[in-house]
Amino acid sequence: MAVAVSDFCRRAKSPAPAPEVREALALLAEDDDFRVRALTDAEPEASPLGPFAVVDILRGTAPALAAQRQACGFYDVARELAHVREEKTPPPAPAPTVPVFATPPAPAASEDGDGKAGKKAGKAAKQEAAVQERIAPKKRATPEADATSAAPQDLDEGEELGFLRRDLPRPRGRFTRVEAPRSSFMELTRLGTKPALEAALEGAEHRFALLRNLSQRYNGSRGELTLVDLENVLKDHGLLEGFTDKEKRQVLAAYSDQRGASGRVGWSLGLSPSELQRLVAVLGLEEEVEALRERFRREALATSHLTHRLDLLGREKYLADLGIQRKFSDSLRKELERLVADELPDATEIHGLAEAVGRKHGAPAELVFRAFERLGLAEGLRKRLLAGAPQSTP
């Protein structure tokens, strides 16, 4: 049975050691063996499911809820609570000695004795035993024993564990999280740390990434490691100039790849907008970055291919990042009005008009129709088409 449960937990993506499986199976009776086999022979309906999740499912819990409890560590907490309560529960007090009031043995009836005397003696013995039972001291159950007997039932019901959250024990074993101690700031300034810094510089794209890496291992001069502390250390080791050149190449390449969009540059480099702005200022790249952005602004406004312009219209965030969204929309609106004027006399409805414009200028009709809607041309075009339609005669 333990092998079947262990294999089921492995297939449910929560393998468990043999002691844990045996501990969970100890909560079930022998009559539940066929139910265990029926569950473990089938494929898991949810994952992860450990041994205690299997017991929980057999007691009526839905597999999805059991998997959620397994994922959040519910059963591990319940086991820890059970162990803590077991350790804190005092051993039961020894049972007091109950005095026994022995009754004298009934005299053996002689062979020639009469039967009435034997009956009277048996009746007297029964009355004496009843009196003995009434006057004997009785052992009462202690509150500790009641709490011990009620503990397993409390652990089975997840709703009653809420009041114990403040008294949960600290995680142990594989659930323990111990932060590595940080070295002092003086360690960074020593000459022997230079090879480690050089290795860290190779894997860092910019100084903010390097700061996040080193701040987990080293303290700063006045508490947390700051960007000023990092720049001073790199300058003392003679590494700042070479790293600055690398940062400049990374930033300019990112602006070229993202076609001047600062938001996507920050996303690709793992920088917030304020960090990207500060990095550009520290590197002295304001003019180069602005020149790149201006080049892409001119390209977006000067492109003559209709499909490209319609595609740019859908990239509102990109146009807003470059600061040309309104100017681009006005320019494209004027161009579409000019193109529509040539096809309007032969059109009967707006979708046919969009298809005619797209077919003539090599653009998808769907993009042309969406441009009509986004630029506010659709309603006016419908009215003009309706006014120019021939009147039907009765």
| Rounded CA separation 352/381 (Å) | 12
113 phi/psi in degrees, rounded to 5: -70, 155
The pLDDT of residue 152: 47
| Rounded CA separation 225/216 (Å) | 9
When pLDDT is cut at 50, 70 and 90, the band that residue 155 belongs to is very low
When pLDDT is cut at 50, 70 and 90, the band that residue 362 belongs to is confident
For residue 320 the two structure tokens come to 């807003």
308-349: pLDDT as tens digits: 888 888 888 999 999 998 999 998 899 888 888 888 887 788
Predicted TM-score (pTM) of this structure? 0.51
User: Region 166-183: what's the mean pLDDT?
Assistant: 65
| Rounded CA separation 66/20 (Å) | 17
Type of residue at 17 = P
User: Region 346-366: what's the mean pLDDT?
Assistant: 86
1-15: pLDDT as tens digits: 788 888 888 888 888
Cβ contacts of residue 205 below 8 Å, gap of 6+? Answer: 247, 250, 269, 270
When pLDDT is cut at 50, 70 and 90, the band that residue 109 belongs to is very low
Do 239 and 231 contact (CB within 8 A), yes or no?
Answer: no
When pLDDT is cut at 50, 70 and 90, the band that residue 277 belongs to is very high
Cβ contacts of residue 90 below 8 Å, gap of 6+? Answer: 144
The pLDDT of residue 116: 58
When pLDDT is cut at 50, 70 and 90, the band that residue 96 belongs to is low
Q: Could you identify the residue written with the tokens 């009196």?
A: 131
pLDDT for residue 34 is more than 50? yes
For residue 319 the two structure tokens come to 């146009």
Cβ contacts of residue 176 below 8 Å, gap of 6+? Answer: 170
For residue 115 the two structure tokens come to 């039967």
Do 232 and 222 contact (CB within 8 A), yes or no?
Answer: no
Distances (CA, A) of 273 to 47, 259, 265, 270, 279: 40, 17, 9, 10, 10
Do 282 and 247 contact (CB within 8 A), yes or no?
Answer: no
Chain CA centroid to CA 195, Å: 37
